[in-house]
């Protein structure tokens, strides 16, 4: 028996865009959207809401900003009526309240506020501001694998008292094993009665899908995936695996298989996301993947063993 509360969010464009500064072809973004609609995914996260003053349009594609004009131009006039809800992520410190239009002037339904543990008060304020403007909102607490327990407890205490209904467990560094996911999911569920817990994994150790299952077992009801696992570094939970696993008959994996074959495998020739030893190493070491991304992007790659030795020694690679 499936759990009808489980919602699936596709983050292909938003998290995948971290690999190419959101410079996707319009037809690619439309294909992802159509795939999500046809597979009956609940939410599609189209990108970030960011201030134009903070980032340049020369360096970043449209999905760094998620203007409604761009969304409608690419996804179609009827994009709000296709049975899927559109989402955008907002990073604390990279957006002003005025950058967020009232809901009645936007096709976006959900704004997910991403923050580090020391930014939790700002995240709550921004998320509640979005709710006041008419949006659904979540808070996604990043990099929790490196946060101190005392700080997590205080954050959970603040979240429990706020109006934001959904709170995400995020394995930003792909550092968690199932036992860590179990422990944190139980902690979040216990600390936040009446709220929904989400899970967003990274695939540094080929555990993003397994950890998503673990999160579901421990009562996380919002889960993220991306087509063929595209995302920063080692990427995310592959949506085709997640939807093949979930038993809700409304989901159809076939459009996703088709999208992987005709959109993602060709794109993978140009952007090298996914499992690679440098991402394994930063994951095992509970490090941000930026040093591994730099390693992977170098015109001539160095030695895996030297990379490991530097990370293990704590030598800064940047």
- Rule CB under 8 A: say whether 260 interacts with a second copy: yes
- CB of 312 closer than 8 Å to CB of 287: no
* Residue number, 23 or 261, with CB nearest to a second copy: 261
Q: Could you give the 3-state DSSP secondary structure of residue 192?
A: coil
Residue among 29, 234, 281, 293 that touches a second copy (CB under 8 A): 281
* Residue number, 26 or 306, with CB nearest to a second copy: 306
158-177 positions binding a second copy, by CB under 8 A? 177
Query: Whole-angstrom Cα distance, residue 151 to residue 167?
Result: 16
Helix (H) or strand (E) holding 87: strand 85-91
Quick note: the x/- pattern for a second copy over 204-233, rule CB under 8 A, is: -xxxxxxx-xx--x----------------
Query: Whole-angstrom Cα distance, residue 134 to residue 278?
Result: 42
- Rule CB under 8 A: say whether 244 interacts with a second copy: yes
Residue among 119, 138, 203, 226 that touches a second copy (CB under 8 A): 203
Helix (H) or strand (E) holding 69: helix 68-75
Burial 27-46 (b: 16+ CB within 10 A, else e): ebbbbbbbbbbbbbbbbbbb
* Residue number, 88 or 207, with CB nearest to a second copy: 207
CB of 204 to a second copy, least distance (A): 9
* Residue number, 180 or 221, with CB nearest to a second copy: 180
* Residue number, 129 or 268, with CB nearest to a second copy: 268
* Residue number, 45 or 214, with CB nearest to a second copy: 214
Cβ of 276: how many Cβ atoms within 10 Å? 18
Number of H helices, E strands in the chain: 13, 8
Q: What is the largest CA-CA distance in the chain?
A: 54
- CB of 110 closer than 8 Å to CB of 85: yes
CB of 255 to a second copy, least distance (A): 8
Q: Which residues bind a second copy (CB under 8 A)?
A: 177-179, 203, 205-211, 213-214, 217, 238, 240-241, 244-245, 253-254, 257-258, 260-261, 277, 280-281, 284, 303-305, 308-309
């Amino acid at each position: 028996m499936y759990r009808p509360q489980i919602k699936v969010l596709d983050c292909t464009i938003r998290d995948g865009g971290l690999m190419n500064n959101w410079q996707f072809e319009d037809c690619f973004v439309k294909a992802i959207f159509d795939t999500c609609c046809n597979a009956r995914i609940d939410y599609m996260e189209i990108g970030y809401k960011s201030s134009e003053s903070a980032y340049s349009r020369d360096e970043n594609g449209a999905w760094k900003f998620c203007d409604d004009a761009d969304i409608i131009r690419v996804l179609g006039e009827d994009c709000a009526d296709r049975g899927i809800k559109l989402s955008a992520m907002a990073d604390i410190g990279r957006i002003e309240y005025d950058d967020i239009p009232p809901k009645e002037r936007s096709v976006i339904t959900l704004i997910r506020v991403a923050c580090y543990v020391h930014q939790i008060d700002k995240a709550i304020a921004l998320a509640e501001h979005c709710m006041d403007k008419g949006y659904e909102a979540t808070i996604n607490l990043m990099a929790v694998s490196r946060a101190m327990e005392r700080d997590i407890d205080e954050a959970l205490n603040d979240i429990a008292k706020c109006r934001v209904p959904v709170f995400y467990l995020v394995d930003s560094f792909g550092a968690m094993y199932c036992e860590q996911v179990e422990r944190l999911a139980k902690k979040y569920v216990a600390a936040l009665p009446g709220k929904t817990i989400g899970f967003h994994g990274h695939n540094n150790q080929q555990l993003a899908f397994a950890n998503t299952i673990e999160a579901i077992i421990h009562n996380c009801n919002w889960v993220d995936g991306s087509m063929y696992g595209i995302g920063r570094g080692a990427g995310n939970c592959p949506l085709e695996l997640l939807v093949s696993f979930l038993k809700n008959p409304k989901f159809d994996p076939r459009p996703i298989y088709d999208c992987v074959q005709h959109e993602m495998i060709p794109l993978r020739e140009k952007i090298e996301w996914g499992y690679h030893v440098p991402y394994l190493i930063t994951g095992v070491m509970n490090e941000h993947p930026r040093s591994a991304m730099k390693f992977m992007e170098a015109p001539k790659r160095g030695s895996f063993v030297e990379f490991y030795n530097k990370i293990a020694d704590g030598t800064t690679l940047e």
